[in-house]
């Protein structure tokens, strides 16, 4: 069979996928680009060309900077905590103890719980009057008076981050655990014979095996965290005083609540650009890690 025929055949088999991708991703994306240069409204007749007005308006607004800061805060804190807790719990689950199999199985629970259910559950836990967090912390004696965890600007973001960490650290655990189980026993035995302590063993024997899979987890979690919408929408809708408003929430408000399709689109593209740059930077890092592991 000639290679041209093989290539043609491949394209034919990919045709349904490509048709779908063009229809539901390619076209909307191109349309978002076009809209971002217009003053179109969400409902009503199409808008006029306004050049870069939407971009300059969005980028210079104080809302954007504050929102970018909130998004960075959420993404960096939640992903960093998830990585550390995930690796520590994976190291624990790689040891011998009673009930290990059951505990490993339980790790899938938070991951399987739908994001919306998780967010709703934590909103109930943080409830200022009847929430379990207030009840438990008062009964232990850590706080004297009930607090509105999601209603106060000081605590709202951390409360959301905690809820996000609880749901997502098990994913890191599962990925790290699979990598740990792939560390050859001979290598560990050899390092023991050579007298390496636990810290050195982690640094020189375990970590090299973990680095690749953990990088993948880091990339995926960071991109997800940057796009965050669901958990914040359910828990605070971006409040109080916009302290938990992330970029996706801002785009939603601009494009849908205020129905300004044009400026909403320009903001959406700015977010896309940030995520793409992040992914490119990570891609380079990923190749480096993969290279050094070989």
Partner 1 sequence: MERQSLTEKVFLHVAALLLAAVILAPVLWLFVMSISPAADLSAKPLNWWPSSVDLSRYVTLLSRVENSAGAVVTSSLANSLIVAGMATIAAIVVAVPAGWAVSRTPSVGWSLNAVVATYMLPPVALAVPLYMGLAHLGMLNSVFSLALVYLTILAPFTTWLMKSGFDGIPKEIEAAAMIDGANLWQTLRIVTLPLALPTIATAILFAFLLAWDEFFYALLFTSDLRSKTLTVAIADIAGGRVSDYGMIATAGVIAALPPVFIGLLMQRALISGLTSGGVKG
| Touching partner 1, residues 56-115 (CB under 8 A) | 89, 92, 95-100, 103, 105-115
Structure tokens at 278: 């992040």
Q: Which of residues 159-178 bind partner 1 (CB under 8 A)?
A: 166, 168, 170-171, 174-175, 178
Q: Which of residues 260-289 bind partner 1 (CB under 8 A)?
A: 261, 264-265, 267-269, 271-272, 275-276, 279
Using an 8 Å Cβ cutoff, are 122 and 129 in contact? Answer: no
DSSP letter at 266? Answer: H
- Residue 267 CA to residue 247 CA, distance in Å, equals 8
- 207-226 and 62-93 helices, crossing angle to 10°: 150
Output 108 or 241, the one with its CB closest to partner 1: 108
Output 86 or 157, the one with its CB closest to partner 1: 86
Give Cα 246 distance to the centre of its chain.
12
- Residue 202 CA to residue 211 CA, distance in Å, equals 12
Q: How far is the CB of 52 from partner 1 (least distance, A)?
A: 18
- Residue 44 CA to residue 180 CA, distance in Å, equals 57
Output 37 or 226, the one with its CB closest to partner 1: 226
Q: Which of residues 199-218 bind partner 1 (CB under 8 A)?
A: 213, 216
Output 89 or 206, the one with its CB closest to partner 1: 89
Q: How far is the CB of 39 from partner 1 (least distance, A)?
A: 13
CA-to-CA separations, 123 to 99, 139, 151, 226, 264, in angstroms, rounded: 31, 20, 11, 21, 28
Q: How far is the CB of 284 from partner 1 (least distance, A)?
A: 15
Q: Which of residues 235-264 bind partner 1 (CB under 8 A)?
A: 247-248, 251-252, 255-256, 261, 264
Which of 66, 81, 120, 196 contacts partner 1 by CB under 8 A? 120
DSSP letter at 182? Answer: T
Cβ-Cβ contacts under 8 Å for 211 (sequence gap 6 or more): 289, 292, 293
Q: How far is the CB of 241 from partner 1 (least distance, A)?
A: 19
Which of 39, 42, 80, 289 contacts partner 1 by CB under 8 A? 42
SS3 content of the chain, % helix, strand, coil (to 5): 75, 0, 25
Q: Which of residues 1-40 bind partner 1 (CB under 8 A)?
A: 3, 6-7, 9-11, 13-14, 16-18, 20-21, 24-25, 27-29, 31-32, 35
In which element (H, E) is residue 188 found? Answer: helix 185-193
Name the residue among 87, 82, 76 with its Cα closest to residue 207.
87
Interaction of residue 139 with partner 1, rule CB under 8 A: yes
Q: How far is the CB of 275 from partner 1 (least distance, A)?
A: 5
Interaction of residue 135 with partner 1, rule CB under 8 A: yes
Which of 2, 51, 130, 294 contacts partner 1 by CB under 8 A? 130
């Amino acid at each position: 069979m000639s290679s041209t025929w093989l290539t043609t055949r491949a394209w034919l088999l990919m045709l349904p996928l490509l048709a779908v991708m063009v229809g539901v991703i390619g076209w909307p994306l191109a349309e978002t680009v076009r809209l971002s240069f217009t003053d179109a409204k969400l409902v009503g007749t199409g808008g006029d060309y306004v050049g870069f007005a939407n971009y300059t308006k969005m980028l210079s607004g104080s809302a954007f900077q504050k929102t970018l800061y909130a998004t960075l805060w959420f993404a960096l804190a939640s992903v960093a905590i998830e990585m550390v807790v995930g690796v520590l719990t994976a190291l624990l689950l790689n040891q011998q103890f009673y009930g290990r199999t059951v505990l490993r199985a339980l790790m899938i629970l938070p991951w399987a719980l739908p994001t919306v259910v998780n967010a709703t559950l934590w909103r109930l836990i943080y409830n200022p009057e009847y929430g379990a967090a207030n009840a438990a912390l008062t009964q232990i004696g850590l706080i004297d008076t009930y607090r509105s965890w999601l209603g106060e600007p000081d605590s709202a973001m951390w409360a959301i981050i905690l809820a996000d960490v609880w749901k997502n650290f098990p994913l890191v655990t599962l990925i790290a655990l699979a990598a740990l189980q792939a560390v050859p026993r001979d290598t560990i035995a050899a390092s023991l014979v050579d007298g390496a302590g636990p810290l050195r063993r982690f640094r020189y024997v375990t970590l090299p095996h973990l680095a690749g899979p953990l990088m993948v987890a880091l990339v995926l979690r960071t991109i997800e965290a940057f796009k965050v919408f669901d958990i914040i929408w359910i828990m605070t809708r971006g409040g109080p005083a916009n302290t938990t408003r992330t970029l996706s929430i801002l785009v939603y408000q601009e494009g849908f609540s205020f129905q300004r399709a044009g400026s909403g689109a320009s903001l959406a593209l700015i977010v896309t650009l940030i995520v793409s740059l992040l992914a490119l930077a990570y891609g380079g890092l990923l190749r480096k890690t993969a290279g050094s592991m070989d």
